Amino acid sequence: MKAATDAATPADTPSLPAAARVFGRIGILSFGGPAAQIALMHREIVDERRWLSERQYLDALAFCMLLPGPEAMQLATYSGWRLHGTAGGLVAGLLFVLPGAAVVLALAVLYAALGEVPLVAALFLGVKAAVSVVVIEALIRVARRALAEPFHWLIAALSFILIFFFAVPFPLIVALAGLAGLLRGGAAPAVHQTTRAEAAAPKAGLAGTLRTVAIWLAVWWLPLIAVGILGADTILPTIGLFFSKLAIVTFGGAYAVLAYMAQDVVGHYGWLGAGEMMDGLGLAETTPGPLILVTEFVGFLAGWHAGGIGLGLAAAAVTLWATFAPCFLWIFAGAPYVERIAAAPRLRGALSAITAAVVGVILNLAVWFGLHVFFTEVAVARYGPLVLQEPELASLDPRVVVIAVLAAFLLIGRHWGVARVLALSAALGAASMLT
């Protein structure tokens, strides 16, 4: 009798150049923060190409949500690792980050030299409108697969309520969901025929894991130590140490990182003003790549204020290294254990519950993103422990509504590709603000 198969059994492994082309495309089109980026990756590597199965993708997503740092970048790195080991992980992770990093750096230089860049805001108004539709479409698709039973629906709903209405820290939500899933347990995974992609997946061992940790700790810290020695009389060592600490202690995604970072870079170090910090966040939200690329903007402006363009560029490079090098450490050391964890029923139950919680968190991000895209003014009101996002109804931007409706029609009704819809939406957004 033929073995039961996963509903989305992976296809055969693509070549590394073929995978690089797709991850490069994802990096260029990854607008809209982690919710949109996770959705775009799901569409590209699960729905369209079947390089990972649905189960593999969701287990990896749950694992990445447990790690410090940008979960979408780490998910891309894991996906590349799953296909081509360390080389694939490096290619996927770097291609996810570098296009956005180049754009953010260019905009940071323009910002420092000229001030705000209104044309960029005009160009990306339409992009954000289209991204809001992409997120909703993907949220529905992922929820259908991740919320397999009432328990998962309950976890997702509670997670959304806790994070959106009560601002409960994301790590606590993940811990509670994982504990609930662990206590409840889960069904053993379905047995399916092993594809070449699965057979080629790297295997873990204690000695190999320790070697990986040692190598990537050296990759992370040796350049920063060199910067500390060669640039001892500059701001660079402080920047390297600060953003390395940020990479370790901040869980819960980009918005948790931003809250911690803004307090220190504005209040403690005085590297930026509050207005500059908000402008950096605005630029990062309208460019491809992980939202945490706002750290590059912060690092560049800190260096610019301290010593001009040369120090600004060096500070941006140090910031990027300290922010993203640890991500490769976490993934390359932990990824070989993801499927082993998922194969144990109780641990699988914990991962399934965390994945359900992630659905609630993505819904939170989708609602938060939508409110700030469709309305130009959104106030935050607190009523005891309750936190409410209250949009000013009069600030509803009709241009965004029109572009979003058109994007929904083209994406869902006409099945246009994401790149085509984003390009058209960007053109419409720019035209609407420049006329």
Which tens digit of pLDDT belongs to each residue from 147-198?
889 999 999 999 999 988 998 877 788 889 989 998 987 655 554 444 444 4
pLDDT of 324 > 70? The answer is yes
Q: What is the pLDDT of residues 122-156, one digit of tens each?
A: 666 787 788 788 778 778 877 887 888 999 999 99
Q: How confident is the model at residue 359 (pLDDT cuts 50, 70, 90)?
A: confident
Please report which confidence band the pLDDT of residue 121 belongs to, taking 50, 70 and 90 as the band edges: low
**Which range in 82-91, 379-388, 422-431 is most confidently predicted, on average pLDDT?**
82-91
Question: What is the mean predicted confidence (pLDDT) over 101-107?
Answer: 92
Residue bearing tokens 């089109």: 29
For residue 216, pLDDT beyond 90: yes
- pLDDT tens string 218-276: 999 999 999 999 999 999 999 999 999 888 866 555 555 665 677 788 878 999 886 68
What mean pLDDT do residues 269-288 have?
76
The tokens for 136 are 């909703």
Please name the helix (run of DSSP H) or strand (run of DSSP E) that holds residue 14, with its range, or none.
none
pLDDT tens sequence across 328-343: 999 999 999 888 877 7
**Per-residue confidence band for 8, with pLDDT thresholds at 50, 70 and 90:** very low
For 31-59, the DSSP string reads: -SHHHHHHHHHIIIIIIIS-SS-HHHHHH
Q: How far apart are CA 55 and CA 99, in angstroms?
A: 29
379 three-state secondary structure:
strand
SS3 labels along 77-126? HHHHHHHHHHHHHHHHHHHHHHHHHHHHHHHHHHHHHHCCCHHHHHHHHH
Nearest to 66 by CA among 202, 145, 179: 179
Q: pLDDT tens digits, residue range 199-208?
A: 445 566 788 8
Share of the chain above pLDDT 70, in %: 85
Neighbouring-strand partners of residue 294? none
Under DSSP, the state recorded for 337 is G
Global confidence as pTM:
0.71
Residue 135: exposure state from Cβ atoms within 10 A (0-12, 13-18, ≥19): buried
- Measured on CA atoms in the order 47, 51, 53, 59, is the torsion positive or negative? negative
CB atoms within 10 A of CB 348: 22
| Nearest alpha-carbon partner for 75 in 242, 205, 215, 253 | 253
pLDDT tens-place string over residues 410-431:
988 888 877 788 889 888 988 8
> In the prediction, which pLDDT does 7 show?
43
Place of tokens 């984003």: 422
| pLDDT (0 to 100) of residue 3 | 39
Cβ burial of 152 (10 Å; 0-12, 13-18, 19+) is buried
CA-nearest of 227, 225, 260 to 246 is 260
Average pLDDT score, the chain: 83
d(CA 213, CA 219): 10
| Lowest-confidence segment of 43-47, 310-314, 355-359 by average pLDDT | 355-359
Residue 35 pLDDT: 72
Residue 239's pLDDT is what?
96
Q: What is the pLDDT of residue 202?
A: 58
